[in-house]
Structures are given as structure tokens and as C-alpha cells.
Amino acid sequence: MVLSNANPKDLSYAQAAALAVQREMEADPRVVVLGEDVGRGGIFGQYQGLQQRFGADRVIDTPISEAAIMGAGVGMALAGLRPVIEMRVVDFALCGMDELVNQAAKNRFMFGGQGRVPLVARMPGGIWDASAAQHSQSLEAWFTHLPGVVVVSPSTPQDNYSLLRAALACGDPVVYIEHKTLWGQRGPVDEGIAVPLGQAATLRRGDALTLVSWGRQLQACAAACDVLADEGITVELIDLRTLWPWDRETVLAACARTQRLLVVHEAVQASGFGAEIAATAAEASGCRIARLGAPRIPVGYAPVLEAQSRVGAEAIAAAARRLAG
């Protein structure tokens, strides 16, 4: 991480992302954006002002076809461009999976490194308030299972700025999962802070147990840590930030010290990425482990049903108490 002397800006999660893309487009004429509604700034404002600044030939509005958008982006990347591919929400990206899974992810391997696919596929994920089952999925585990891609999930405006720039410099396909309800979250953004892919952030120090999460779920985890601290239970809270490659060194070092690990995610618990972290920690350290995720149900539209899919601070604190006891 590199620190600058510049005064940080107060930006929203969406503004931080737009600034990151702007800086990369200024620095590299090969960076282009394509997707639905990107010309008007995107549905969350994450491209605000970019078409006016760089023109419609670099910020490209597309037809409503995720397969066409992803396929065009893969072709652009193979031809030497560095495209930012906007899928609007991760749920819609399912219509472009063949181009990502069978083309982008495998090209470098199948052609002996002669081809590279340096694209960033932005797929906002997670529960979108009152948007029901087809717009509220957390599918990060699908992509971590896919050899050939990097998977990123920023939780703060600063990380959304720094990690998006790192993703655009990566040289390989990156699945970039921003949470659908974080766009308005504000915070300081220092353009001089570089965050490398694959490096977790330790947000709190503690000895009772290690708590690992990512994305919006960090907010509930932090609230649970506050409750636990009042009870004398100190928690080591780790924001994974990059899901693949994930920071084993930081997580396993914390597990070795606390001898307890709780992995929490918004995604359905069954076959979630938390299972990979838990299994790795069990093999490496033998520490006590628990997982906490959503039940295996579609996200309901009605608030009372949607709440059943949320993993809140109270449930996290209860799981931590059981593990620490």
C-alpha cells in the first residue's frame, strides 16, 4: 500500500468507482467502457460524466444483450483494448456466462499465453432492497470456482477506487462485484493509496476469535464486533477484499493466534465461498470453525421475507459467542 500526502476526497462508493475509471482512461487510451446505459452514467451513477469527457467511441452504449456485451468485450480485450464491461447486476451476467467461462477465462491457458484477456466485468451483487429473487443474488462462489479469473469485492469507497484501478491493470479477466446497496455510502478516498489484488485488510484487532467477511456484510460484522466488545469479547475482523486469489497468509496467521474462525457472508451458506476459507483453515491450523450465511431460499420481495435472507449483526454476535465460549 502506497500513501500519498494529498488530502483525501469525500466520495460515494459510486463516485469513487467513476473516478477510478476516469483516471485509467486518462492514463491509457486502450481503456474503454461498454454496457447498457453507461452513456448516461450507469444505473447507479458509477460512470457519471465519462461519456461527456471521453466520447461515445470510448464509453459505448450497447443493445440489451448481455451475451453480446460480454462477447464484444472479450473480443476487444483479445484485440488489445482493456474493456470495462458493465453487466448492471450479477443476476443479468448469467446471460453472458459462456463468453466469460469458455472464452475469457480459458484463452490464456489454451493458447499458451499468446492471448490475454485484460477485461474487468463489473457485476453488482447482493441483496437489492425490495428487488426480489432475480435481482438479489450473491454469486461470487460461482466465479471463485472458475480457473482463469480474478474475483474482487470492495466494501468501501477507498477500496472501490483502489481495487478497480488494480483490476484494470491486472492483465487477466477480473470479475468485479460491487454491492448493489453500497453506491451511496460515503468515505474518504485518497488517490495515492494503491491496494494490490489479493491483499486482505485487518479492520480490527482481537484475541477471542477471527471473523472474516467481504462486501456489504462487513457492516453487519462491524456492528456485531461493537456488541461483542461491550461484553469483553475482542474480535479480529478481516475484510477479504479479493476473493480469488484470497489472502491465506493474513487469515491463517490470525487463525493460528485466536484458534477460532467465523466466516460470514451474505450469500447462501450451502457451497458458499466461506466453505473454502473454512476448509483451508481447518487443514492448516486445526482451529475451531463456524460458518454463517443465508438460508438456501430465494430472496423474497416482501420485507418480512427479504429479512429471512439477511445475516444481521445479532445472528453474527450469537454465532461468535458460541464459538468463543
Distance CA 278, CA 246 (A): 13
| Residue that has been written with the C-alpha cell 468501501 in this structure | 156
3-state helix, strand, coil in the chain (%, to 5): 40, 20, 40
The answer to whether the CB of 56 falls within 8 A of the CB of 39 is yes
| Residue that has been written with the C-alpha cell 488494480 in this structure | 166
Bridge partners, 34 (sequence order): 60, 85
In angstroms, how far is the first alpha carbon of the chain from the final one? 36
Strand positions, DSSP E, 269-303: 288-294
DSSP per-residue letters across 112-159: TTS-----EEE--BS--TT--GGG----HHHHHTSTT-EEE---SHHH
| Residues labelled catalytic | 135
Distance CA 53, CA 243 (A): 33
- Shortest CA distance to 38 belongs to which of 10, 64, 74? 64
By DSSP bridging, strand 201-204 and strand 235-239 are antiparallel
